[in-house]
């Protein structure tokens, strides 16, 4: 709330409103001295000064309340309030100086009026004793001047203290603002660094995700290739098992052929033994029944014995050769059988370890199934 000069000139505390323009002028000398009117004016002047003092105190109270409210605001509001208060204080100081000047002028005019009235009263012969108002007015003036000086001094001191407090608060607020700005700048710098770091990590993450996708695709392709290889190996294993079963059947057939050959050889052996027995029996019977002279008698004994020994030795050698051939054939057959079994085991191990196909197994079996000339003749 600002007070201008019109408020003091036209407001309820104005002296001109109380006295008026007509009453404020110096009374003409012909009117005389009205002591009761002067006393009334003095009382009114006291009342006016008291009201002005109360108004000034209320203004100071409102100003203090306004300062307390301004202290509760933020830094920007406090700065604006400080500027506004400085303007208001300057305005109040100007108004106070103007009021003081008006007061001095009014007091001077009032003293001049009182002096003129006292001079006029000295010329007029009054029957009653006149009270001496000049000393009272001087005392009142001195009191009001001292009160105004005290009020002005207290207002200046209060203004200086408030202004110092506001300056101190503004300095603290400025320091807090500076610290806050530095902190904000540091936070922005950290945020920028974290943003750059996040961008770098995002790029690395995308690169790793692409690598993971490539590895997954490669892994899927390798898994599919391995599954195909496993399927092919399983097919090869089934084919190998079927080939082994076929070769085992062929081996069983060969064993059956061998047994048949053994039986046939035994039958031939029996036939040979029977023929030898029959031949020897028939020879002895022919010699006993023949009336012709014995050929042995015609031959020398040495020749006959040699001939007989040759015949017997020839039969024995034939028998031994047949037995040797039979034993040799059985040995060769057993050896070939063991070799075929071993070759089957080796082929199975090599097939499982080296993933060999059925073609290689067939070739190996064909190499290992080369039998003796008798077996080839049977095939």
CA distance 378 to 262: 14
Are the C-beta atoms of 321 and 224 separated by less than 8 Å?
A: no
Average pLDDT score over residue span 9-37: 46
CA distances from 179 to 28, 166, 189, 192, 292 (A): 73, 19, 15, 20, 161
Long-range contact set of residues 93-98: C-beta below 8 Å, sequence gap at least 24: 93/159, 95/3, 95/4, 95/5, 95/7, 95/8, 96/152, 96/155, 98/5, 98/8
Q: How confident is the model at residue 43 (pLDDT cuts 50, 70, 90)?
A: confident
Q: Give residue 274's pLDDT.
A: 87
Average pLDDT score over residue span 315-321: 51
Query: Would the pLDDT of 46 be above 50?
Result: yes
Per-residue tokens: 169:
């608060």
CA distance 344 to 212: 47
Average pLDDT score over residue span 155-163: 82
The larger pLDDT score, comparing residue 326 to residue 182, is at: 182
Domain boundaries, the chain: 5-120+132-185, 228-282+312-378
Q: Give residue 63's pLDDT.
A: 76
Q: Give residue 339's pLDDT.
A: 59
DSSP for 197-237, please give it.
HHHHHHHHHHHHHHHHHHHHHHHHHHHHHHHHHHHHHHHHH
DSSP for 89-141, please give it.
HHHHHHHHHHHHHHHHHHHHHHHHHHHHHHHHHHHS--SSPPP-HHHHHHHHH
CA distances from 151 to 53, 54, 344 (A): 9, 12, 131
CA distance 22 to 17: 11
Average pLDDT, the chain: 71
Average pLDDT score over residue span 159-178: 85
> For 284, phi and psi rounded to 5 degrees?
-70, -35
Under DSSP, the state recorded for 292 is S
Q: Is the pTM of this model over 0.75?
A: no
Percent of the chain with pLDDT over 90: 19
Q: Give residue 365's pLDDT.
A: 45
Of 105-114, 117-126, 250-259, minimum mean pLDDT range: 117-126
Helix/strand/coil for 274: helix
pLDDT tens readout for residues 322-371:
566 556 656 655 665 565 556 555 655 655 554 444 444 445 444 444 44
Q: How confident is the model at residue 72 (pLDDT cuts 50, 70, 90)?
A: low
Residue given tokens 């009205």 in the structure block: 34
Average pLDDT score over residue span 78-88: 77
Q: Give residue 208's pLDDT.
A: 93
Q: How confident is the model at residue 14 (pLDDT cuts 50, 70, 90)?
A: very low
């Amino acid at each position: 709330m600002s007070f201008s000069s019109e408020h003091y000139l036209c407001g309820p505390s104005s002296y001109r409103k109380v006295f008026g323009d007509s009453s404020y002028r110096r009374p003409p000398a012909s009117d005389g001295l009205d002591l009761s009117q002067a006393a009334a004016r003095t009382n009114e002047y006291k009342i006016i000064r008291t009201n002005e003092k109360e108004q000034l105190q209320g203004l100071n109270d409102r100003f203090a309340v306004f300062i307390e409210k301004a202290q509760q605001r933020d830094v920007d509001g406090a700065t604006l309030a400080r500027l506004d208060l400085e303007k208001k204080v300057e305005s109040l100081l100007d108004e106070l100086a103007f009021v003081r000047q008006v007061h001095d002028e009014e007091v001077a005019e009032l003293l001049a009026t009182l002096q003129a009235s006292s001079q006029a009263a000295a010329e007029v012969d009054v029957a009653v004793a006149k009270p001496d108002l000049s000393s009272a007015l001087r005392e009142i003036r001195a009191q009001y001047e001292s009160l105004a000086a005290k009020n002005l001094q207290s207002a200046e001191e209060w203004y200086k203290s408030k202004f110092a407090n506001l300056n101190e608060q503004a300095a603290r607020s400025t320091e807090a603002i500076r610290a806050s700005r530095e902190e904000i700048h540091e936070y922005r710098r950290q945020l920028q660094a974290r943003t750059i770091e996040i961008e770098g990590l995002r790029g690395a993450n995308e690169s790793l995700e692409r690598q993971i996708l490539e590895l997954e695709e490669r892994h899927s392709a390798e898994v599919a290739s391995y599954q195909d290889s496993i399927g092919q190996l399983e097919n090869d294993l089934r084919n190998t098992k079927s080939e082994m079963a076929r070769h085992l059947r062929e081996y069983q057939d060969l064993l059956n052929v061998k047994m048949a050959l053994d039986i046939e050889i035994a039958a031939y052996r029996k036939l040979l033994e029977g023929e030898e027995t029959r031949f020897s029996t028939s020879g002895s019977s022919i010699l006993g029944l023949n009336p012709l002279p014995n050929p042995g008698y015609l031959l020398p004994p040495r020749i006959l014995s040699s001939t007989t020994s040759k015949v017997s030795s020839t039969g024995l050698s034939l028998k031994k050769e047949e037995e040797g051939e039979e034993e040799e054939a059985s040995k060769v057959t057993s050896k070939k059988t063991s070799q075929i079994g071993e070759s089957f085991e080796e082929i199975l191990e090599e097939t499982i370890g080296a993933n060999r196909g059925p073609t290689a197994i067939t070739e190996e079996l064909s190499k290992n199934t080369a039998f003796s000339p008798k077996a080839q003749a049977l095939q």
